[in-house]
Amino acid sequence: MCGRYASTLPPEQMAELFKLLNQLEMVPRYNIAPTQPVVAIWEEAARREAHFARWGLVPRWVKDPREFPLLVNARVETMAEKPAFRDALKHGRCIIPASGYYEWHTGPDKKKQPYYITHADGRPMALAGLYATWVGPEGEEIDSIATITVPANQQLSEVHDRMPAILEGDAIEQWLDVRSVSARHANQLALPLEDGALKFHPVSTRVNSARDDDPGLVEPVALEKPEPPQPRKKVAGGGAQMDLF
């Protein structure tokens, strides 16, 4: 899954890169977590604009968002059939600009080591996502999003078995074009990137806390080396057979 990411692209560069008709005032973020407001891009009435939205999809048909489970990710294998996602796949596709994302690798000792993952050439990412606008009984509105995950490519499987769907080039245009591009075709755009397209390095476990949000979180750290095995002590008076145990 994708549960944390960074987004540091300046508003004017974001507008130019993604052909936006607006700019949002925002500060660089290095540890964006679920339930927080994020920047998402979608097209509505032929206008492509950036919006602030809650990370955690709330479908239109939900009665009370406070009683609805947190939907952070949508799996590409099932999103076309899941009631929570299928309408958004047809009418509410979006992209989420990111500088990189975090994933946790569980080692043999069950400890989880976070890694920061970026494009190999350092350029910004366009994460494939779904959005919905929930309207409450008093007319209040909540825009919300979920990121889409796909099976990890061989390179990223060293860290985790899933990765976000990252769109490039014409795939971005087709994904956002909900008027002309069907949900079935859009579903086929969400694919793992090829091996070598991304790079990753271990980072501080400070990223585990959403309260920490600073440039140091994306800096590489050295992994602790496991202690070398200690030689076995022979039992005094033991024979060769005892030394085997």
Q: Residue 102: which pLDDT band, with cuts at 50, 70 and 90?
A: very high
pLDDT at 232 over 50: yes
Where are the alpha helices (H) located in the chain, listed in sequence order?
11-17, 86-91, 170-176, 183-187
Range of weakest confidence among 64-68, 153-157, 190-194, 206-210: 64-68
Provide the residue type at 96 as one letter.
I
Q: Residue 138: which pLDDT band, with cuts at 50, 70 and 90?
A: confident
Query: For residue 20, how many other CB atoms are within 10 A of its CB?
Result: 18
What is the CATH T-level fold of the domain 4-224, as seen in this structure?
hypothetical protein yedk fold (3.90.1680)
Strand (E) or helix (H) holding 162: strand 162-164
Q: Residue 231: which pLDDT band, with cuts at 50, 70 and 90?
A: low
**What pLDDT shows up at residue 244?**
26
Residues taking part in catalysis: 2, 103
pLDDT at 239 over 70: no
Instruction: Kindly report whether the global pTM for this prediction surpasses the value 0.85.
Output: yes
DSSP letters of 72-128? -EEETTTTTT-TTTHHHHHH-EEEEEESEEEEEEE-TTS-EEEEEEEETT-PPEEEE
| Ramachandran sector of residue 238 (left: φ over 0; alpha: ψ -120 to 50; beta: rest) | beta
Q: Residue 46: which pLDDT band, with cuts at 50, 70 and 90?
A: confident
**What pLDDT shows up at residue 237?**
47
Contact (CB, 8 A) for 154 and 193: no
Mean pLDDT of the chain: 91
Q: Residue 1: which pLDDT band, with cuts at 50, 70 and 90?
A: low
Give mean pLDDT, residues 190-202.
Answer: 96
Q: Residue 242: which pLDDT band, with cuts at 50, 70 and 90?
A: very low
What's the Cα-to-Cα distance from 103 to each of 58, 61, 66, 208, rounded to whole Å?
A: 24, 31, 27, 11
pLDDT at 80 over 90: yes
Q: Extract the tokens encoding 179.
A: 């008027």
Burial class (CB in 10 A: 0-12, 13-18, 19+), 105: middle
